[in-house]
Amino acid sequence: MTIEKLRILFKEIYKLKFDYQIEGVFSNGSSKQIIYALEKHNLPQSYIKFQKNCGHISALDIHNGYWLDKGEKVLERLNQNKNQKLLIIGSDGGGNLFKLNIQNDSIYKTNPAGNNPIIISNSFEEFLEQLVLDWQHFLNGDASWKYIV
């Protein structure tokens, strides 16, 4: 599973590149109440699965930084604007936003103001696979790799 690949890579990166604890980077998943509420909003199943199994990633020291929000924050955004098509689910270290297209599971990246969306993956699962590739190239010191952040 992609989340497990990310967890393993994260441990390898921090063991080799950093000299401090990595606790709290991945959560254990959102609560059953949050999952139920997210499901009621008809979010793509790949994203619901992520929230069940992980729920949050804070990897701000890898390349330019990766942050995927907790289910509670995503639910708060959903409840504030029920008609949105692109839902903010995280950001990078430069403040650019990762947005989930609720209708088709694709992932977009926008500038910090939420403008100029560009598609970066066709599904949330594909987005996580891209994170795996980014983290592998970061671990190997590959400066020529085109990172998503």
Q: Flag whether pLDDT at 2 surpasses 80.
A: no
Q: Considering the chain, what is the average pLDDT of its residues? A: 84
Strands 57-59, 97-101: pairing kind: unpaired
* CB-CB neighbours of 6 under 10 Å: 22
Q: Tell me 26's DSSP state.
A: B
Predicted confidence (pLDDT) per residue in 6-57, tens digit: 766 666 666 665 555 554 476 778 999 999 999 999 999 999 988 998 888 8
- The pLDDT value given to residue 111: 93
- The pLDDT value given to residue 1: 55
Q: How far apart are CA 127 and CA 97, in angstroms?
A: 13
Mean pLDDT of 59-73: 82
Q: Could you give phi then psi for residue 103, rounded to 5 degrees?
A: -80, -30
Q: How far apart are CA 3 and CA 46, in angstroms?
A: 12
Report field, pTM of the whole predicted structure over 0.95: no
In the chain, the percentage of residues whose pLDDT exceeds 70 is: 83
Q: Identify the structural domains of the chain with CATH numbers, from first to last.
A: 2-17+46-139 (3.40.1580.10)
Q: How far apart are CA 141 and CA 139, in angstroms?
A: 6
